Amino acid sequence: MRMGEKSQVVARDDAVVYLEGHQDEIANVDLKALRRKIDRRLLPLTACIYALQFLDKVALNYAAVMGIKTDLKLTGNEFSNTATWFFIAYLVAEVPNVYCLQKFPAAKWLGTNVFLWGVAAAASAGAHNYRTLLVARVFLGIFEATVGPSLMLISSQYYTRSEQAPRFTFWYMGLGIAQILGGIISFAFQHVRHASLEGWRIMFLVLGFVTAIVGMLTFFFIPDTPIKAKWLSESEKVALLQHVSENQTGLWSTTLNMKQIWESLFDIQLWLLTLTTILISVSSGVVTTYSSTLIASFDFSGPISALLNTPSGVVSIFFTLLVGYGIRRTSNRWAWNVVCTIPGIIGGGLLSFLPKSNTAGVLIGIYLVNAIVATLPILYQWTMANCAGHTKRAFASALVAGSFSVGNIIGPQTFQARDAPEYRPAKIAVLATQAAAALLSVVLFVYYTWENRRRDRAHGCVNESMIDEKKWAGLTDRENPYFRYAY
């Protein structure tokens, strides 16, 4: 056996080993019933994780109108810096995440980090000045960094490319739910009186405790892979693996393939996805950190500012559900990405150019900008659908999640103290980045269409018999001539 052949055998996907040991298993299973069974087991917990991730981040947004700046004597750009350093830590932590997601099951790695970020969130309640708050936010960023990549990898193990879109949508919908709950929670804790702790401190403690509990549930109740799911029968496992094999992306392997990382670094589609995510996330950073501050600038009280933020969650949920359903029915991820940036562009325009005296118009602008959060599950699912190979998928998921943090680093920094109270440069940044993201979505569509047609000319149209032997080969999308990109 030649060296190349030996390495191919060593790097075989876990699904290959399992299916070889169950060749006589008859996979006569109702796939619709199987999907419902998996949905019931996975989706509530994954949605809860994503909701808590957003709540723990946006809690700082609400704390801004609950007195944290005064209590900790934050001055100048210190509040913006705490938000920025969270995402710097988030970005740096994506580097070891690539290795850890290759060596450890995504569910176990996720559960551990969810528990630890709950501890970090609770620790924010003990901050007594700028530096201690900064340390707590840095650790929060480190532990939250794995959430996006882990959920992407877990979801892609159980569903085909067309099935992934609504499932990504479901757990990402937790963000909109968190926006609504966050406003209500902030409103409630602002009415805490005569307590030994300020309302914002109690809020951090409660959210941290709940997150730690969810982390333990994740660790013990989400299986490492479908193969290890005790609630699936052997026939159901075989049927599921055969069903998702059409993705040609593999299931899981502990072999770290440096060649696939090198390929990723020179893959134009991955950098287009990354740049699009950065542009989208600039607005996300603004929404996450400063929406309550913008609303409070209209001289609303802290509790009312928190409640006025809740319609943002309704907008997020509506557009997230819309794109999930739309992609499942029509595909066209690029078009749905553009559809969601249009309200963001309109919202950015209202924020930038309406006078502050037009309170209703500016509020509508703030709400409309939230439509762009629905583009992130599209980009996450797009990445998982079009990146094949065990190591490349882990690297790609970390890169796109890391690019989300880059946009969120830039977003809060557009809010400079010298620009208060209008913050005009930040509002224009929202408008410009959404327009650029829409343009790049079209560029991705053109690239994928061109690449698929090039492959058809070189290798002919694909049929099931051609790709059967490639399903679990662990090849990347560029190595597999029969891989076709979804757009």
Full-model pTM: 0.76
Nearest of 375, 393, 367, 369 to residue 276 by alpha carbon: 375
Burial 206-233 (b: 16+ CB within 10 A, else e): bbbebbbebbeebbeebbbbbbebeebe
pLDDT in the model for residue 7: 37
Count Cα neighbours of 34 within 13 Å in the Cβ-side half-sphere.
23
Type of residue at 266: F
Nearest of 75, 231, 168 to residue 240 by alpha carbon: 231
Check residue 389 and give left, alpha or beta (phi > 0: left; psi -120 to 50: alpha).
left
- Whether the bond between 226 and the residue before it is cis, its omega within 30 degrees of 0, is no
- Count how many domains the chain has: 1
> In sequence order, what E strands does 240-319 have?
none
Instruction: Tell whether 281 is covered by a domain.
Output: yes
Dihedral of the alpha carbons of 240, 242, 245, 246, in degrees to the nearest 10: -100
CB 428 within 8 A of CB 352: yes
Instruction: Tell whether 445 is covered by a domain.
Output: yes
Per-residue pLDDT of 420-431, as tens digits, reads 666 777 777 778
Q: Which residues of the chain have pLDDT under 70?
A: 1-27, 193-195, 247-255, 285-290, 292-293, 302, 412, 415, 417, 420-422, 462-474
Nearest of 116, 106, 138 to residue 14 by alpha carbon: 106
| Contacts by 126-130, CB closer than 8 A, 24 or more apart | 126/201, 127/72, 128/72, 129/72, 129/73, 130/72, 130/73, 130/74, 130/78, 130/82
pLDDT in the model for residue 3: 36
pLDDT in the model for residue 22: 64
Instruction: Tell whether 1 is covered by a domain.
Output: no
pLDDT in the model for residue 226: 85
DSSP 3-state assignment of 274?
helix
Nearest of 448, 411, 447, 139 to residue 293 by alpha carbon: 411
Instruction: Tell whether 240 is covered by a domain.
Output: no
* Token pair listed for 415: 């809010």
> In sequence order, what E strands does 212-268 have?
none
pLDDT in the model for residue 174: 82
Interhelix angle 234-244/31-63, nearest 10 degrees:
70
Type of residue at 244: V
CATH number at residue 381: 1.20.1250.20
Place of tokens 């990402």: 172
Instruction: Tell whether 206 is covered by a domain.
Output: yes
Place of tokens 């909701």: 51
Instruction: Tell whether 242 is covered by a domain.
Output: no
pLDDT in the model for residue 11: 46
Task: Tell me which residue range forms the domain holding 57.
Answer: 43-234+257-455
Nearest of 294, 314, 310, 411 to residue 359 by alpha carbon: 294
pLDDT in the model for residue 247: 65
CB 392 within 8 A of CB 483: no
Instruction: Tell whether 141 is covered by a domain.
Output: yes
Instruction: Tell whether 402 is covered by a domain.
Output: yes
